[in-house]
A and B are shown apart, each in its own frame.
Chain A
Amino acid sequence: MSWMHALRERLRPLFGRERLEAEMDEELAFHFQREVERNVAAGMGRREARRAARARMGGAIRPRESVRSLWRGIELGGLGQEARLAFRRLARRPAFSLTAVVTLGLGIGATTAIFSLVRGVLVRPLPYPDPDRLVMIWGNDLDGETWLSARELLEYERATTSFERLGGYLTSEVNLTEDAEAERVPVARVTADALALLGAGAIEGRVFTRREDVPGADAVALLSYELWQRRYGGDPGVIGRELTANGQRRTIVGVLEREFRLPADFRRARPVELLVPAGIDRSAELAWGDRSYHLVGRLAPGVTAGAATGDIRAAVRAWEEAGHVENVGGIMDRDAVPLDEFLLSELRAPLSLLMGAVAFMLLISCVNVAHLLLARAESRRGEVAVAAALGAGRVRMARQLLLESGVLASAGAVLGVGLAVLGTRATVALAPIQAIRLRGVEIDAAVLAFAALVTLATTLLAGVVPAFQVARVDVARALGGARGSARGRDRQGVRRALLVAETALSLVLVVGAALLARSFMELRRIDLGFEPDEVLVFDISPSSASYQDAARVGELYRTLLDRLGGLPGVESTAAARVVPLRRTIGTWSITIEDREPGPGELFEPSWQIVTPGYFETLGLELVEGRVLLDTDHADAPPVAVISEAMANRYWSGENAIGRRFHLGTLDQPWMEVVGVVRAPHHNAVVEDPRAEMYVPHAQWPVARGDGVPQWGMSILIRADGDPMSVLPAARRVIGEIDGSLPISQPRRLTDVVDDAVAEPRFTTLLLGLFAALALVLAAIGLYGVTSYAVSRRTNEMGIRLALGAERRDVTRLVVGEVLVVAALGVGLGLLSATWLTRFVSAQLYGVSRLDPLTFALVPAVLLAVAALAAWLPARRAGRISPVTALRTE
């Protein structure tokens, strides 16, 4: 097949260059020899024969050179050689090429990183078998907590048909005290059904069964993979051994698979490490109101979450009719919330926002590259026309342009992949999203391919269109006075339109980022109601086995706080059940003296248990009365401090001091209100003032009515200086008091507060970054177009200058023209922004989505950037020498 030979011959210069050279050398050497031989045969002397042969061969170099030039593809074109040429041409314009490559790289990289994150978090299926059928039984407020009683779990099982299985778990912490160092770990009491419906599997041993999940069964425990590794060094022999959790001995029956998580874990900083059976007593008459479980269910095949919701609501109505529960204010209204929605409801909005932003980035990148390439093609029209006039094939000229785009696109793609890898890692590291969910987030090949494809397609398109124009170029016009031709102006129009689009897109991004930044500043300005600086916080949880009664628990905390308070550098100390912004505070129903709840009204303030030092240590503001004192001990009359909101809500228009209320609805002892404070923001940075009661830790067992003390408390230490510096001493002191009492999660309170705003910070940071990049890209675009316009109009400028125009006027003329384009873009951007910011508004705090300051400042900034980007090349126009300018004609 002759075309195959032909193809091989064409490809040989690419792949077999050395061999080709060698063959040619041999062929020419052979030719030379024959030439000499012929001359000798004709009667010449050998030397003479050689000289004549050389002369005839044109100095031996010439044939070689002309063959080589063939290989180089000047006439028949080896693709590789042309690509190499294209590369060289690009290298000669580093500013242009770098800009294009970086733009492409940023577009591909940023898009891939964010989309990978989003897909990893939002799209990737949860690590459970058939996760679509998993639901949480949850109240309307997904951000809050919905606890249900074991009784409700059993009654739901009985009354509903929507679920294949229902399970429950409750999480807390326990102290592990055997063998190794005493340690406090997150624990979950789980029903065997919950494990089964979540598809929990063991890598060592087994998970526990229903038979072990009953009261009185042998005490067993399951280890998480992490705990197994950390505490037992991954020893398979751990199965069958015993551990001591809060003083209770349990047999280890299995180690869970590494990937296994309880749904709760996705919302916690630290996943559960120990699982024990819930041991619900199915034969007993359980209390309806003892709510401490989270309920999870697996829907029966074909049942929707909506149908299941109807099912459980019907069950609640039946209970209400039977008089078991009261659905006051709809607190018993639960939904069957798909697990996916349950876990992602908070993330969806910010991640979607970032996705939108990054899509804008991609668009801007594409526009910028298209624009750069068009400008480049324009500037080469003259060159192309000359080449065409000299007989260069037009197809080949077009191919060269295309090749240039191809080289740019490839380089951009390589950079993009690199940035995507780094970017994905960086966002995963920075993202405030629960670490567990992110563990599997990797660079997403599909996303990368998509981003690369889009940008590359743009590049090639922007390369091809002018390439075809080149192929059709009208030589005479291009070489002659084509400078002001109508077609030239059309193309300028396309590029101006691109520029307008780019400016508009950038404006939208910058506005979005500015709004978020303003909102974040507002967020940080919020008075949290407490002073987190220089406060150390950690948890301790004395086991009920070692401290059996209220007296011992009270004694422990008194000694502990006393000793800690005596440490050098410690200003004050306190203990609290839950620390603001660290752990959710719940509510407890109360009875108020001489008051009946109105219809739909609930007396359910948040409940806090504190030691007297709490108010001083956190710096809470006392509004009325007094704070708690050491004299409010177990034997003193029960008292409580309440929050201002509680006073206003339950005793509105009256003085709350001296009023009485008690916990629960039975005959618990009355507590007298002795003081009113302003409550700290507890569950979120942004929250309405909450009704909150502060019961002295010493009096809690009395106030509860059953003498049960609060074992686990958080310790707060206000230090003079960095609070972390007192941690070693605190550890030592606690060790001295009780060697088996571990400190858990010591942190600065300021870090706790920072974590509370981690998500808005992350979103703001990323969006800010994108906006900055967008601004840079827009500036590059404007710079490019001005620069080009200036070089095209050199002679016009020359004439203006020659006719007496001031240099300043010329500069101003050029800048003015660019500013018109930029202003158009800004106007378009503002219009889009007024509409698009509605998607940000859910993320905003304290700032209107149409914030006048933002909408005034951002356009100003953008125009300033545009002016600068135009002024730099425009200065050149002003510096043109009229003589040179006119000579370029």
Chain B
Amino acid sequence: MTDAANVPPGTLEMMILKVVSSESHHGWGIGQRLEHMSDGVFEVNQGSLYPALQRLLRKGWITAEWRRTENGRRARYYRTTGSGARQLEKERETWARQVRAVERVLKWAT
């Protein structure tokens, strides 16, 4: 995990939206999930994670509430809202297009 990369710019928020779309998670949990789901490729820095969560809150794409964890500690849980889900779809398409474009370029260049 030492060679883990930071997430590509602009994709962190999209991935957070995805992670908390089916189930709510607290900040640490979101980081863990991102690492696991990306097979340890992404390491999420707290310095980007929490500001990203704040931005999403302000845009109304996620909500937050304080709950108890399974071992009884208070934590803040985040969950995607309806408009967040729509935003996720939009970003997903954009991202897919971009990836295809990048790959085409790379193909031509070789």
Q: Report A's interface with B, CB cutoff 8 A.
A: 2-7, 9-10, 23-24, 26-28, 30-31, 33-35, 38, 56-58, 62-63, 66-67, 69-71, 75-76
Query: Closest CB-CB distance, A59 to chain B, in whole Å?
Result: 9
Knowing that A5-B60, A26-B76, A66-B47 are A-B contacts, what are 8 other residue pairs whose CB atoms are under 8 Å apart, sorted by A's residue number?
A: A6-B60, A9-B54, A27-B76, A30-B27, A30-B76, A31-B28, A35-B28, A63-B45
Establish whether residues A58 and B45, one from each chain, have CB atoms under 8 Å apart when the complex forms: yes
Establish whether residues B46 and A63, one from each chain, have CB atoms under 8 Å apart when the complex forms: yes
Query: Closest CB-CB distance, B106 to chain A, in whole Å?
Result: 28
Query: Closest CB-CB distance, A94 to chain B, in whole Å?
Result: 35
Residues of A within 8 A of B58 (CB): 6, 9-10, 76
Establish whether residues A58 and B57, one from each chain, have CB atoms under 8 Å apart when the complex forms: no
Residues of A within 8 A of B46 (CB): 28, 31, 56-58, 62-63
Determine whether B55 belongs to the interface, using a CB cutoff of 8 Å to chain A: yes
Q: How far is the CA of A244 from the CA of B61 in the complex (A)?
A: 90
> Quick one: given A30-B26, A30-B28, A30-B74, are A63 and B49 in contact (CB under 8 Å)?
yes
Q: Which residue of A lies closest to B61 (CB)?
A: A2
> Quick one: given A63-B49, A63-B50, A70-B55, are A5 and B28 in contact (CB under 8 Å)?
no
Chain B's interface size range is: 20 to 34
Q: Which residue of B lies closest to A57 (CB)?
A: B46
Q: Tally the A-B contacts, defined by beta carbons under 8 Å.
A: 81
Q: Report B's interface with A, CB cutoff 8 A.
A: 26-28, 31-32, 45-51, 54-55, 57-61, 63, 66, 73-76, 81-84
Q: How far is the CA of A10 from the CA of B59 in the complex (A)?
A: 9
Query: Closest CB-CB distance, A411 to chain B, in whole Å?
Result: 30
Residues of B within 8 A of A69 (CB): 51
Establish whether residues A27 and B27, one from each chain, have CB atoms under 8 Å apart when the complex forms: yes
Q: Which of A9, A31, A33, A67 contacts B51 (CB 8 A)?
A: A67
Q: How far is the CA of A430 from the CA of B63 in the complex (A)?
A: 64
Establish whether residues A3 and B60, one from each chain, have CB atoms under 8 Å apart when the complex forms: yes
Q: Which residue of B lies closest to A62 (CB)?
A: B47
**Residue from the set B27, B46, B76 with the largest chain A CB neighbour count within 10 Å:** B46
Query: Closest CB-CB distance, A443 to chain B, in whole Å?
Result: 43
Query: Closest CB-CB distance, B103 to chain A, in whole Å?
Result: 28
Residues of B within 8 A of A5 (CB): 57, 60, 63, 81
Query: Closest CB-CB distance, A288 to chain B, in whole Å?
Result: 91
Establish whether residues B55 and A30, one from each chain, have CB atoms under 8 Å apart when the complex forms: no
Establish whether residues A2 and B84, one from each chain, have CB atoms under 8 Å apart when the complex forms: yes
Residues of B within 8 A of A26 (CB): 74, 76
Residues of A within 8 A of B49 (CB): 63
Residues of B within 8 A of A7 (CB): 60
Residues of A within 8 A of B28 (CB): 30-31, 34-35
Query: Closest CB-CB distance, A425 to chain B, in whole Å?
Result: 49
Q: How far is the CA of A33 from the CA of B72 in the complex (A)?
A: 13
Establish whether residues A6 and B59, one from each chain, have CB atoms under 8 Å apart when the complex forms: yes
Q: Which of A24, A56, A76 contacts B55 (CB 8 A)?
A: A76
Residues of A within 8 A of B59 (CB): 6
Ordered by A's residue number, 25 sampled pairs between the chains whose C-beta atoms are within 8 Å are A2-B60, A2-B84, A3-B60, A3-B83, A4-B60, A5-B81, A10-B58, A24-B50, A26-B74, A26-B76, A30-B76, A31-B27, A31-B28, A35-B28, A56-B46, A58-B45, A66-B47, A66-B48, A66-B50, A66-B51, A67-B51, A67-B54, A70-B54, A71-B54, A76-B58
Query: Closest CB-CB distance, B70 to chain A, in whole Å?
Result: 12
Q: How far is the CA of A28 from the CA of B47 in the complex (A)?
A: 11
Residues of B within 8 A of A2 (CB): 60-61, 63, 81-84
Q: How far is the CA of A62 from the CA of B50 in the complex (A)?
A: 10
Residues of B within 8 A of A63 (CB): 45-47, 49-51
Query: Closest CB-CB distance, B2 to chain A, in whole Å?
Result: 11
**Residue from the set A3, A9, A10 with the largest chain B CB neighbour count within 10 Å:** A9
**Cβ-closest 7 pairs across A and B:** A6-B60, A2-B60, A2-B81, A63-B46, A34-B28, A62-B47, A9-B57
Q: How far is the CA of A23 from the CA of B78 in the complex (A)?
A: 14
Residues of A within 8 A of B47 (CB): 57-58, 62-63, 66
Query: Closest CB-CB distance, A192 to chain B, in whole Å?
Result: 78
Residues of B within 8 A of A33 (CB): 73
Q: How far is the CA of A23 from the CA of B66 in the complex (A)?
A: 9
Q: How far is the CA of A58 from the CA of B44 in the complex (A)?
A: 11
Q: How far is the CA of A3 from the CA of B32 in the complex (A)?
A: 29
Residues of A within 8 A of B55 (CB): 70, 75-76
Q: How far is the CA of A57 from the CA of B63 in the complex (A)?
A: 24
Q: How far is the CA of A401 from the CA of B82 in the complex (A)?
A: 36
**Residue from the set A10, A27, A38, A63 with the largest chain B CB neighbour count within 10 Å:** A27
Q: Which residue of A lies closest to B80 (CB)?
A: A2
Query: Closest CB-CB distance, B63 to chain A, in whole Å?
Result: 5
Q: Which of B27, B32, B51 contacts A70 (CB 8 A)?
A: B51
Q: How far is the CA of A62 from the CA of B28 in the complex (A)?
A: 16
Establish whether residues B76 and A28, one from each chain, have CB atoms under 8 Å apart when the complex forms: no
Residues of A within 8 A of B57 (CB): 5-6, 9
Q: How far is the CA of A34 from the CA of B31 in the complex (A)?
A: 11
Q: Which residue of A lies closest to B26 (CB)?
A: A30
Establish whether residues B50 and A67, one from each chain, have CB atoms under 8 Å apart when the complex forms: yes
Residues of B within 8 A of A70 (CB): 51, 54-55
Residues of A within 8 A of B81 (CB): 2, 5
Q: Which residue of A lies closest to B49 (CB)?
A: A63
Q: How far is the CA of A70 from the CA of B52 in the complex (A)?
A: 10
> Quick one: given A2-B84, A5-B81, A63-B46, are A27 and B61 in contact (CB under 8 Å)?
no
Q: How far is the CA of A800 from the CA of B31 in the complex (A)?
A: 64
Q: How far is the CA of A34 from the CA of B58 in the complex (A)?
A: 26
Q: Which residue of A lies closest to B58 (CB)?
A: A9
Residues of A within 8 A of B82 (CB): 2
Residues of B within 8 A of A9 (CB): 54, 57-58, 60
Q: How far is the CA of A71 from the CA of B73 in the complex (A)?
A: 26
Establish whether residues A27 and B75, one from each chain, have CB atoms under 8 Å apart when the complex forms: yes
Establish whether residues B50 and A27, one from each chain, have CB atoms under 8 Å apart when the complex forms: yes
Query: Closest CB-CB distance, B50 to chain A, in whole Å?
Result: 5
Residues of A within 8 A of B61 (CB): 2
Q: How far is the CA of A71 from the CA of B53 in the complex (A)?
A: 12
Residues of A within 8 A of B27 (CB): 27, 30-31
Q: How far is the CA of A69 from the CA of B48 in the complex (A)?
A: 12
Q: Which residue of A lies closest to B85 (CB)?
A: A2
Q: How far is the CA of A33 from the CA of B46 in the complex (A)?
A: 13
Query: Closest CB-CB distance, A26 to chain B, in whole Å?
Result: 7
Q: How far is the CA of A2 from the CA of B83 in the complex (A)?
A: 7
Q: How far is the CA of A776 from the CA of B12 in the complex (A)?
A: 59
Q: How far is the CA of A185 from the CA of B75 in the complex (A)?
A: 85
Residues of A within 8 A of B45 (CB): 56, 58, 63
Q: Which residue of B lies closest to A71 (CB)?
A: B54
Query: Closest CB-CB distance, B19 to chain A, in whole Å?
Result: 15
Query: Closest CB-CB distance, A697 to chain B, in whole Å?
Result: 94
Establish whether residues B50 and A28, one from each chain, have CB atoms under 8 Å apart when the complex forms: yes
Q: How far is the CA of A30 from the CA of B31 in the complex (A)?
A: 13
Query: Closest CB-CB distance, A80 to chain B, in whole Å?
Result: 15
Residues of B within 8 A of A57 (CB): 46-47
Query: Closest CB-CB distance, A584 to chain B, in whole Å?
Result: 78
Q: How far is the CA of A10 from the CA of B51 in the complex (A)?
A: 13
Residues of A within 8 A of B50 (CB): 24, 27-28, 63, 66-67
Residues of B within 8 A of A35 (CB): 28
Residues of A within 8 A of B73 (CB): 30, 33
Query: Closest CB-CB distance, A102 to chain B, in whole Å?
Result: 39
Q: How far is the CA of A56 from the CA of B81 in the complex (A)?
A: 30
Residues of B within 8 A of A27 (CB): 26-27, 50, 75-76
Q: How far is the CA of A33 from the CA of B73 in the complex (A)?
A: 11
Residues of B within 8 A of A28 (CB): 46, 50
Residues of A within 8 A of B63 (CB): 2, 5
Q: How far is the CA of A529 from the CA of B51 in the complex (A)?
A: 89
Residues of B within 8 A of A24 (CB): 50
Q: How far is the CA of A67 from the CA of B50 in the complex (A)?
A: 7
Q: Which residue of B lies closest to A30 (CB)?
A: B75
Query: Closest CB-CB distance, A28 to chain B, in whole Å?
Result: 7
Residues of B within 8 A of A58 (CB): 45-47
Q: How far is the CA of A2 from the CA of B63 in the complex (A)?
A: 8
